Structure 1
């Protein structure tokens, strides 16, 4: 009899605790939906994309002939496949001649949902961004747009591909169409995560620890900058609100505008796939995700996060890793 009573008590406590946790999870899902959105199905501008344009853009994305010495492609700094998160995991990237750039390479995955491109926001969309590295002397090193068009125009397969992709344009092969085709391909690089399942109501998508990290993320107001479907990528904000960032040589958007008010203003990074796209920060100086979380808490929010909070937030951020990557599995 006593054993039966004990078992009944254990069963009751288990069911009670399970019910309490389910209620907590329900409330967290509702709270999260105030600040975040599941990843949309299509990126802005994709309504004009065609299979021919996407295929052309893919071919161009991987073609090293877009560089001055046929050694560098878009994929050199933004590799895809083999578990790569759309960037090369280097602090800064080498260009066609081996020279290093001075800013960390952002991921190209999901990039089309951002309000601007580059750390300083100087490109308004994916096509505008695609135009620039090809002509950058450190990156791909081509001297001008005309040289790029002439080089591609000597390749019969590109004459055919541009004509198929842009049949109504005269001429079909232009630098503008090249950039738009690359953008069309990049608009297919959608990377959905377990967090999207959670936002849509799947209570089992995140572990208890990951949910705790999400709750801390919201409670400490990380959502002031990192919100929406991309958890960032829509604002240009000062890096170092309460304390200076440890590297103030790069003044961010000030490089573009020359305006003193733009010193240390950088685009807020999207946190999609952040766990696999280190090293972090615009200069690649963030060595671990935990260090980055501590730094951002200190200089942006004026708080010193506890170590368990740092670990929980890092666990939550890992749930933003695309399902196509192995380390996106739930932590139990």
Structure 2
């Protein structure tokens, strides 16, 4: 198969291709949390560590399962003592590209997000000080925290726990999807149907909110999906105008991170496309257009991150 590598090569869709950005290999790295191999290795261990949960059996990876698109593929997350949360578990893939975290944007970055699930009663239900004490029981964690934070006398702290988890999550990116290859010049990386879907995605207004390399504007938009009474960002701000507003989810890897919407009640991507057309765009998409857009969205599934399930102490 011939591969077009020239930026000037054209398949008739250049005007549309130019409206998108390929996904970089790494997201922005904050000055307050430099990305080091030692932090990433420690964060990898902590991500899979169930002993920082009250029950000792729930880890970050329980809901963000690498085998399931780094989510759980159930409508709403199941946490401590079998409790069911209010919202669908977002994938952590490419989460470093987001400008806020959680469906309601209550944390600005991964560092702020990291400790919330540990302490949440419905998730890991663990007192943070007790979680740190559990880590201090293991000489290996003393060693790994010291390697990650060599200038500190007592590095097993909540801030360092959050920074290590955030560092690991910033490496969980999925570049080189078929669509990225297409944007980089491989014009045969997409089929004609997928290219039609790209056109429909732009022409019908989907790209207004699902923009940028992560296919999200990181803003909040009002939507009441079937079966949900969740008031969304209103819980954070108390502003009436924020009722039922949720952060625009990334569409990267959306083909493998089902079910959809904030309550996880939408089982298929086709159904999600139809709902978004009706609720957000005021359009009733015909079946052919739904199929074309869905085919395009599947091209956003990239290469899964290279990591190792750690051997825990």
TM-score, with length taken from structure 1: 0.85
Corresponding residue SS for 1:266: strand
Aligned match of 2:203: 219
d(CA) in 1 for partners of 2:152 and 2:138? 19
Please tell me the root mean square deviation across aligned C-alpha atoms, in Å: 1.7
Contact 2:178–2:190, Cα closer than 8 Å, also in 1 = yes
- Structure 2: state its 5+ residue gaps: 1-7, 306-313
Mapping of residues 276-315 of structure 1, within 5 Å: 276-315=256-295
* SS of residue paired to 1:237: strand
Query: In structure 1, what is the equivalent of residue 72 of structure 2?
Result: 88
Q: Distance in 2 between matches of 1:234 and 1:261?
A: 17
Q: Provide the residue aligned with 1:176 in structure 2.
A: 159
Q: Aligned in 2, Cα 1:24/1:286: closer, same or farther, shift over 3 Å?
A: farther
Higher relative contact order (CA 8 A, sep 6+): 2
Equivalent pair of 1:194/1:323 in contact (CA under 8 Å): no
Deviations 1:182-205 (A, max 9, x none): 111111111121111111121001
Alignment match of 1:153 (pick from 131, 136, 140): 136
Q: Is the contact between residue 61 and residue 182 of structure 1 (CA under 8 Å) also seen in structure 2? A: yes
Alignment of 1:107-126 (within 5 A): 107-126=91-110
2:310 matched to which residue of 1?
none
For 1:30 and 1:184, how far apart are their aligned partners in 2? Answer: 36
Misfit runs of 4+, over 4 Å: none
Q: Choose which of 233, 240, 243 in structure 2 pairs with 1:263.
A: 243
Match of 1:49 among 13, 30, 35: 35
Which deviates further from its counterpart, 316-325 or 109-118?
316-325
Matches within 5 A, 1:58-207: 58-80=44-66, 82=67, 84-143=68-127, 145-192=128-175, 193-207=177-191
Deviation at 1:234, TM superposition (A): 1.6
1:32 — aligned with what?
17
Bigger CA radius of gyration: 1
CA displacement at 1:236 relative to structure 2: 1.2
For 1:72-113, what per-residue CA distance to the aligned partner results, in whole angstroms no more than 9, with x for missing partners?
Answer: 000000011x4x211010101111321111100001111100
- Confirm or deny: 8 A CA contact 1:38 1:196 kept in the other structure: yes
Given that 2:215 and 2:251 are in contact with CA atoms closer than 8 Å, whether structure 1 keeps it comes out as yes
Normalised by the size of structure 2, how large is the TM-score? Answer: 0.90
Q: Which string of whole-angstrom CA distances, capped at 9 and with x for unpartnered residues, describes residues 23-52 of structure 1?
A: 995342342322x21011211227711111
Count of matched residue positions in the alignment of Structure 1 and Structure 2: 295
SS of 2:246's equivalent in the other structure is strand
